[in-house]
Every structure is written in structure tokens, then in C-alpha cells.
Amino acid sequence: MGYYDRWGRPRRFGFPLFLAALAGAVIGGLVVGMLLIGRIPEQQVSPVPQLPAPIDDGALLPEERLSSEAYSVAVAAKKVSPSVVKISTKQEELVFSFFFRPIIQEREGLGSGVIIDASGHILTNYHVIENVTEIVVVLADGRQFPGSVVGGDVYTDLAVIKVEGQDLPVAELGNSDQIIIGEPAVAIGNPYGFDHTVTAGVVSALNRSIETDQSSGLVLENLIQTDAPINPGNSGGALVTTDGKVVGINTAIIQEAQGIGFAIPINAARDVANEIIKYGKVRRPYLGVAEIVVLNRSIALRYGLPVDQGIYISSVVRSSPADRAGLGRGDIIIAIDDAKVTTADDVRRCVLKSSIGDKMKFTVVGASRREREVTVTLGEMP
């Protein structure tokens, strides 16, 4: 379309306007060049052999990071994708033929993982490697390595495997405490065997809890919720911010829903990985109360109990910390360290936030109907 003056005559662009346009292009090019040089993250990531805790070293705040156009899904994918691996597994299972003869069949599985140090440790989900007999790790550059299980933790659905290789690309682990709801999130993994797939969305919510096993009551807590598409095979892959730092390990989806996926925050995953690498497992404090009943007014009236709120102990494990301290069948826990207790989660959280060897003060009501205090020294979970 041409340009015309108010009388309908073609407008002419003279030499002064040409000079102005040329100057603007030069200045604009210099500004863009300085922005790119100053803002695009480094492509090479230093190894993190000890998986140190995140340190606030003056990095951009989330608001500042999100306001910069230099960070993008493409930048994040280019930086992190080499560190995300495909994990192929084989598992033997016993089945019975039509004539009820036992047959051992081999089942294959797929998952993802993230290389977290130059020694070849790879962080993934526990359910990816549970009961497997063979692991093959495939890198983005095509290299393949046999993998061995260092250890796993069913309670957090995390595991560490190891490969022996040189010049392994190591992911940069971020600080999951700094992510904010609504910021872009990038999921990288191998859904349905489609190697190194990149999907994008946002951080939908924080501190979510989901039940992973109804029969055992296993619950994953403090999860990151995202609408970045996550599918089978993504498990163990990376959830990444647009500055190319891993802030979560993708772990679960809700099959009946769309756009609801979950990731384990990397700060928690880092602690679990350090424990597994050092001890081969996650050491946890142990109380030793085996069976409980959560009281309410109806149960208390039916059985003539002295209180209608608390945790009734049905049994304790012999020689456990609870048993040695004097807790037993019939005791009702009403407080721990002077904090009121009304649910099983109250007890579990109090124990898990403590350390092995810590002393906990239990206020209980026993058969005498009198309150007493019992001090339990927590042991290590067997």
C-alpha cells in the first residue's frame, strides 16, 4: 500500500529520512546485541558432584527473569535436553499359561532421567526402576550405557541410577523455592518412547498432594502442578524454567484429566539423591507404632474412652523406639511436643520433620485415665 499526502498526491521519502532510518537500524542492532550478550545464559553447565543446596548468589528474581525476552522455551530446551536421558528397562514376571503352568515373561518399560553430576548419577522416579532386571540409558547424542541402581525411595518416588561414561552433560539444578505460580514451565522427557520431547505450559499450582497408592496410603506431598503435557514415559524427566534450570522431576499425571501433571520439587529431590548416593537409601526417623485408630466422639462413646480426640494405639512393634519408651496398646496420643494431635497425619509429620536420634515428648492418656508424658528417642527406619 502506498502513502499519500492530504491532497492525494504520492508522498516522497527524501534523503534525510533515509539517513534517519539507517541510524535507527544501527542503534537498534547495537542495543539488541548488548541485550543478547548480557542476558542469554551460558550454554556450558559446571558439574555438581555433591549436589549442593541452592545458594542465592544474586541470580535474577522470578519477576525479573520472566520479564526478560532473552529467556525462552527454546533456550531452556537447548540447555537442558542433552542432560535428559531415556531409560529403557526390562522386568521379569511370573505368569501362568492356559494349562496353569508357570511361565516367566519379560516386560519392557520406558522412562526418563536427569544427569545430576559428572560421575554419572541419574535422578529418576522409583516406579521407573522398581524391580527391574536390566537398565539401558540412552543419551540425546545417541550414546548408550548400561545402568545400575544405586538406590530408591518409594515414599518420595525417587531413585538414583548410575552409568559409567565420559563427558556426560550435567543438568543445572535450580531452586524450586523461587518458582511462582503462572510462570512458564518446560517438560522434557520421552513420552511413549518419542525421544527427547519438549512440551511447555505454566506452573499451575504449588504444594499439591496426591495419593499414589490407595492400598498402602502412599501420598506425595508439596508437588508442583503444571499444565505442560506430561505422558507415560515422561516419568523421571525434567521440569525446567525458561532460564534452563531444572526445578522439578516429573512424576505423575491424573489419567482422567487434561493438563494436570505433577513434579517433585528439585530441592526435595536433591536431598533424597544425596542420601541415596551416600547411604544407598533414604534414612528416616522411626517411631514403631504399628496400628492406630483415629478417635472421634462416636468411637469414644461406644468404647467408653476417656477422650474423644487423639490417636489410639492398637499395637507397637516389639523392641521399637515406642516400645522401649513405654508406649503401648491402649495409650491415646493427644499431643506431641505440646502440639495437639487429632489425625494420623499429625503424628506422621511430627516424626518425619525430626531426625534420627531426636527426642520427642508424647502426651498420652492410658488405662488409668490420667495424662502422662513419654519421651521417645527416634531410631532409624528399618
Q: Known catalytic residue: 157?
A: yes
Task: Give the three cell numbers for residue 276.
Answer: 541415596
Measure the CA–CA gap between 141 and 156, rounded to whole angstroms. 30
Task: Give the three cell numbers for residue 300.
Answer: 469414644
- The residue whose grid cell reads 520479564 is 67
The catalytic residue among 83, 88, 112, 235 is 235
Query: Which segments of the chain does DSSP mark as H helices, in order?
Result: 15-39, 62-66, 73-80, 126-129, 266-279, 297-303, 321-325, 344-352
The catalytic residue among 117, 157, 195, 323 is 157
Residues ≥6 apart with Cβ < 8 Å to 322: 287, 288, 289, 316, 376
Can you tell me whether residue 177 is helix, strand or coil?
A: helix
Using alpha carbons, select from 352, 321, 333, 353 the residue that is nearest to residue 292. 333
Q: Known catalytic residue: 127?
A: yes
Residues ≥6 apart with Cβ < 8 Å to 294: 311, 312, 342, 343, 344
- The residue whose grid cell reads 495424662 is 371
The catalytic residue among 81, 127, 195, 323 is 127
Neighbours of 297 (CB within 10 A): 10
For residues 264 and 247, the answer to whether their CB atoms sit within 8 Å is: no
Q: 100-121 burial, b if ≥16 CB within 10 A, otherwise e?
A: eeeeeeeeebbbbbbbbbbebb
Q: Known catalytic residue: 235?
A: yes
Distances (CA, A) of 151 to 124, 235, 249, 263, 329: 11, 17, 16, 20, 35
* Secondary structure string (H, E, C) spanning 43-100: CCCCCCCCCCCCCCCCCCCHHHHHCCCCCCHHHHHHHHHHHEEEEEEEEEEEEECCCC
Measure the CA–CA gap between 342 and 308, rounded to whole angstroms. 10
Task: Give the three cell numbers for residue 195.
Answer: 525421544
Residues identified as active-site: 127, 157, 235
